[in-house]
Structure 1
């Protein structure tokens, strides 16, 4: 059995769903259920005995230790993190608490558990830390993409907190021998993404007839990775990655924010035309850029392909079409997220610390 932290969030939920579907191995899913943690993402597993859902904080060392012992966990996939740059600018404290302090307490609990395992289980145990390409800072146009050896230069409170957690994981490996793996991914998109991020926000606002805000000139470049490709890459690293190594996971899909929004508008024109027949791109508006906005991210994913044989299955064209269609097919999910109804439902269904 594996333990997944943050498994009710966007990437974590997709990973849990795909992991159980692909492997059948049971999962203990620990999530604090902050604003972006949504148990409705896991409705498909509601009565599945292979999925144990626990409400709790990774900073709760006693709870972590209890879960590890009770379920005899063989591996941990650590997604739990505050991840929205805009929120980190306005309220960095939560990011330090979860991403830095929370990861520290998690590592301490895991280290104590791992040290007492019998030799064979100790050797096969793994701790996989999921991080971001934002720890590397910003690239200039034409500059080579981030490799695993790129200097760490975070520019936002969010990316700084993730860089700090990366360093903690590395230190627990080199100092204590904890068998860790780290992945740094590019921008994810796909089902269940909270509509504060660019792609779901654009889809949801477009359908509601609202303006589609774009920071600055919209020429910020990101490397876009379909979330299921990311989940499969993580599973690959967990299974065959070299201990202590970092693997960059990217989609080989560099796009400007403006191009992303234009692509979504064109797909909606095709799949859900406006009642007045006008194109959705008429709703685009440019707003003041956010402070310290990184200009370009790009991932060089050759290491994971060469060593582990992974490469993305989706192009941006296929992935974004699947994503737009998913949001069109799930209006109730969107409504519950926007109204906050999912938070009322989860308080009725779950109580903290129940395993």
Structure 2
């Protein structure tokens, strides 16, 4: 079998970080399939220009003919599926996109993988892996004192986004149990870090603060999330791909539960140090509370004991070290930020937050 892997959604936030991390640690070629929607950005991969180990293909995982052709041409030993619509607020405004990409797209990718895998030699069949990257949101919401999500928690998705991801997880499981396809699933907590599209909380806070805009906080800001530095997540995925038990699910979390308002205060305080406002006031002055979004889950938390116990992975970054690296990256890359903040992005921010004011 050729030394190549297919990475879907590899120009997005987590996918691009994974591709960069993979090629920094391996000579195995990456076939990077991304349809370059608003959140997919070739600039994320600029450092790989001219690198023969990175082959970029613009296309959709729902394009069965294209995907089957990639399997035939490159004979990969693994697929890592990041391709997904992933923003809860967008799923509330436009749920159909999430059904098409996250459910139908995953189904078509699985079908192509199943057909390809079925034609391999016994040794290559045994070596092949289909790793599906999912989210802690499929488990629903936790009360304040509930134990963190484990891999055997029942699924209780509460948004069109999380419901579509839950459906894709079930399809992956079914393809293993029905056809024997050697699958792995990872469910991660909230990621943050470089190349994060600025509709999500942390990059939105950084970019809005520097631009002198309001820092919108949903409801009372006491929604609790577990935060995982994206490079730690990428290391976890590599470890699951390398040593995970076929058919198993591994939760990848950062052991960093924090309320959203505490995140906002931390970002403001670090920006006060690194890039003080011209008037000498704190960025906290820009905090504005807005109406909460429908169906907003109160708390997510990941119990990452299994991956640490079985595979020896644990995060290397604390939230304090990771958030400093993240803020510094945004301060050092203003051109990247300006380029992704297109008219369509501005229109979306206006639509999503103005009506909550």
- Shorter-chain TM-score: which interval? over 0.9
Q: What's the C-alpha RMSD, in Å, of the aligned pairs?
A: 1.0
Cα distance between partner residues in 1 of 2:214 and 2:241: 42
Q: Which residue of 2 aligns with 1:207?
A: 210
> What is the SS of the residue equivalent to 1:53?
strand
Cα distance between partner residues in 2 of 1:100 and 1:333: 31
Cα distance between partner residues in 2 of 1:341 and 1:134: 26
Cα distance between partner residues in 1 of 2:143 and 2:240: 29
Alignment partner of 2:265 out of 224, 243, 262:
262
Are 2:81 and 1:82 equivalent residues in the alignment?
no
Cα distance between partner residues in 2 of 1:300 and 1:133: 10
Cα distance between partner residues in 1 of 2:91 and 2:288: 24
Are 2:194 and 1:191 equivalent residues in the alignment?
yes
Q: Which residue of 2 aligns with 1:320?
A: 323
Deviates more, 1:214-223 or 1:19-28: 19-28
Are 2:89 and 1:99 equivalent residues in the alignment?
no
> What is the SS of the residue equivalent to 2:216?
strand
Q: Which residue of 2 aligns with 1:166?
A: 169
Alignment partner of 1:57 out of 25, 45, 60:
60
Cα distance between partner residues in 2 of 1:340 and 1:24: 38
Q: Which residue of 2 aligns with 1:345?
A: none
Q: Which residue of 1 aligns with 2:352?
A: none
How many residue pairs match? The answer is: 342
Deviation at 1:179, TM superposition (A): 0.1
Q: Which residue of 1 aligns with 2:355?
A: none
Are 2:15 and 1:12 equivalent residues in the alignment?
yes
Are 2:298 and 1:305 equivalent residues in the alignment?
no
Which ranges in structure 1 are unaligned for 5 or more consecutive residues?
343-355
Are 2:112 and 1:115 equivalent residues in the alignment?
no
Q: Which residue of 1 aligns with 2:149?
A: 146
> What is the SS of the residue equivalent to 1:295?
coil
Aligned structure 1 segments of 4 or more residues deviating by more than 3 angstroms: none
Deviation at 1:24, TM superposition (A): 2.1
Deviations along 1:210-246, whole A, 9 cap, x unmatched?
0000000000000000000000000000000000000
> What is the SS of the residue equivalent to 2:231?
helix
Deviation at 1:339, TM superposition (A): 2.8
Q: Which residue of 1 aligns with 2:235?
A: 232
Deviations along 1:282-316, whole A, 9 cap, x unmatched?
00000000000000000000000000000000000
Deviations along 1:151-191, whole A, 9 cap, x unmatched?
10000000000000000000000000000000000000000
Alignment partner of 1:134 out of 137, 141, 152:
137
> What is the SS of the residue equivalent to 1:114?
helix
Cα distance between partner residues in 2 of 1:12 and 1:263: 26
Cα distance between partner residues in 1 of 2:268 and 2:42: 29
Cα distance between partner residues in 2 of 1:193 and 1:5: 17
Distance 1:161 1:333, change over 3 A: same
TM-score, length-normalised on structure 2?
0.95
